[in-house]
Chains A and B, each alone.
Chain A
Amino acid sequence: MSSADTTDIPGDLAPDRARARSARRWRPSGSTLVMVLYILFLMLPIYWLINMSLKTNAEILGTFSLWPRNPTLANYRTILTDASWYMGYVNSLIYVVMNTVISVAVALPAAYAFSRYSFMGDKHLFFWLLTNRMAPPAVFALPFFQLYSSVGLFDTHIAVALAHCLFNVPLAVWILEGFMRGVPREIDETAYIDGYSFPKFFVKIFMPLIASGIGVAAFFCFMFSWVELLLSRTLTSVDAKPIAATMTRTVSASGLDWGVLAAAGALTLIPGALVVFFVRNYIAKGFALGRV
């Protein structure tokens, strides 16, 4: 610090304070250090996945390298040109979007009922909905497989979308109910007095008020459905095979193609990252306002 060109006033604390502040700026604080370590720790597997996806199989198996020596996009090319690979993504996206739409559409009126009316057994029903989330998917795999096969829905997108509703509808109801509870009932009544019919009120007045709740609910439905493997693999064989299943099956069929697998894994991160990017503001708001 150059305090030579400024006159020193005896007892003046200001220059000291300025010096102290700048000193603090340079000292690495504990929280920054912890944060950096934590992020490194979190990002390491993702970095390694991307690292692998840009290498050739020979390099992956042959040497230990922190970054690809001969970066190649061949692995990605394989996936994006081979229908048996990229159809996995398409199938996954189809049933995930279907599931998200169904879950939110079903949960909206249900959550409204829970937040606005008291009816016989409402508390028990609400709890029962939540218990559906607690059961492991494996419990439902066998009955679902048999049920969907017998009604001819096996290996269709809608089968997986419906199966995932088992977990996502309760979750969406739970999230939305918290948001709806925060909207005063008087708004509903004012709308009716103004002349809004219920559907019109719900779409024009109510849904904009809980838009962040809908965003958060849709995000969670999307993510749970996207990462769920067991049910989606059990309920599909060829036509609706999800990407995760494609990945596991390819491993056993064609030996270990590490590079292509890593590229496929890297690509599965993209939809989630995109959704997070678009709803990130809602999520911050959602975690603060809603119940989750």
Chain B
Amino acid sequence: MTLELRGLARRVGADAHIHPTDLTLEAGTMNVLLGPTLAGKTTLMRLMAGLDAPSEGRLYWRGEDVTGRRVQDRDVAMVYQQFINYPSMSVYDNIASPLRLMGRSADEIDRTVRETASMLKLTPMLGRRPLELSGGQQQRCAMGRALAKGAGLVLLDEPLANLDYKLREELREEIPRIFAKSGAIFVYATTEPEEALLLGGNAAALWEGRVTQFGPTPRVYRRPADATTARVFSDPPMNFMSLEKRAGMLRFGAQDEVPAAGRYEALPDGRYSAGFRPNHLELERHNAGALEFVARVAVSEITGSETFVHLDYAEWRWVGLMRGVRHLPQGSEVRVYLSPAHIYLFDGEGRLASAAPYAQAA
């Protein structure tokens, strides 16, 4: 039971919303579509569901070409970012509606609805209308409908984006547990790298209508195939600076040249782009080999126990995530430290040249 996208693309007028995409999703897997707003997550999902027709390419479901098939005849369920339920029906009827259309017996419908409701903690609300429920309950009702259908492909389009923080945490824990036993293919769209990592499974990084990388989520995180993927899969986004290697000497950003050592020795000469995650930038020197940069503070935001520092270093804007509350006056110069082991190297075309050594283990 697989879903296979072969060169699937969608264009509207002259705009390519989705560039030709090849993807194979295996049965019983959680697949996260990760990308910023307008990256094409929803469009890709709509193509998978059959709500939009692809401009080119084919879609195979269990080896069968389903490209032109009606939505009604496909084995899919979908949950939207907005809480979409049938307002004129009770929660019970909402969850039961796909089963009724499939012509199940009344006993079976009743059993499935009650099982689903108890799993989603909706049992006391079965008799109510969706609009009488809280946001989290409404979204659980929508999920209940998708789940009760028992579809082979379940699409979740940022299902938690409109919920408050607390409910989000709660549902995020429930989702993998709930969907794990169904054996269906799950596709989950999100803008948050953290959410993708928590859900696990596979991740597809999307950027401007292109799938830049697809693979097991931790692997995509630790070994991004290119700079774009690294940028998508980091929140705040990955920081970059230039790196030039010539005749055994390295020049990081606007620093003085240093002799190449360790993994940099084997690197061919040329210009690279060096990327590192915000949490690896430090205000104290923790090891002797750390690179030292003098940067200017642009903005400093304190979020409880952490401090986001926006720094201007030469022509680059960096964000540093510092532990603890730091009072850094705007415009002041600070010394920041970065271990070379945390640096990803991307070549001139943005492809990964060398992953950060700390991530090699994964």
A187 engages B86 (CB within 8 Å) = yes
A105: interface (CB < 8 Å): no
| B interface footprint on A182-222 (CB within 8 Å = 1, 0 otherwise) | 00101101111111110000000100110000000000000
Contacts of A209 in B (CB 8 A): 87-88
- Cα separation A187 to B97 with both chains bound (whole Å): 13
Contacts of A186 in B (CB 8 A): 80, 82, 84
Select which of A187, A196, A208 is within 8 A of B72 by beta carbon: A196
B102: interface (CB < 8 Å): yes
B122: interface (CB < 8 Å): no
**B155 nearest in chain A by CB position:** A193
Consensus secondary structure, chain A interface: helix
B254: interface (CB < 8 Å): no
Contacts of A192 in B (CB 8 A): 51, 70-72
Select which of B70, B80, B101, B102 is within 8 A of A190 by beta carbon: B80
Instruction: Specify which of A187, A193, A197, A208 lies most central, judged by the most chain B CB atoms within 10 Å of its CB.
Output: A193
Select which of B49, B71, B76, B86 is within 8 A of A205 by beta carbon: B86
Known: A187-B86, A209-B88. A194 touches B101 (CB 8 A): yes
Contacts of A184 in B (CB 8 A): 82, 84
Select which of B84, B88, B102, B142 is within 8 A of A195 by beta carbon: B102
Contacts of A191 in B (CB 8 A): 86
Q: B7-62: which have CB < 8 Å to A?
A: 49, 51
B51 engages A194 (CB within 8 Å) = no
Known: A196-B101, A209-B87. A190 touches B78 (CB 8 A): yes
B77 engages A193 (CB within 8 Å) = yes
A205 engages B101 (CB within 8 Å) = no
Contacts of A197 in B (CB 8 A): 72
Select which of B71, B74, B84 is within 8 A of A187 by beta carbon: B84
Contacts of A195 in B (CB 8 A): 72, 98, 101-102
**B103 nearest in chain A by CB position:** A195
- Say how far B342's CB is from chain A's closest CB, in angstroms: 42
Select which of B80, B82, B87, B145 is within 8 A of A194 by beta carbon: B145
B296: interface (CB < 8 Å): no
Known: A189-B71, A189-B78. A194 touches B84 (CB 8 A): no
Residues of chain A at the chain B interface (Cβ within 8 Å): 184, 186-187, 189-197, 205, 208-209
Can you list 27 A-B contacts with CB-CB less than 8 angstroms, sorted by A residue number? A184-B84, A186-B80, A190-B78, A190-B84, A190-B142, A191-B86, A192-B51, A192-B71, A192-B72, A193-B49, A193-B51, A193-B71, A193-B72, A194-B98, A194-B101, A194-B149, A195-B72, A195-B98, A195-B101, A195-B102, A196-B72, A196-B97, A196-B101, A197-B72, A205-B86, A205-B88, A209-B87
Residues of chain B at the chain A interface (Cβ within 8 Å): 49, 51, 70-72, 74, 76-78, 80, 82, 84, 86-88, 97-98, 101-102, 142, 145, 149
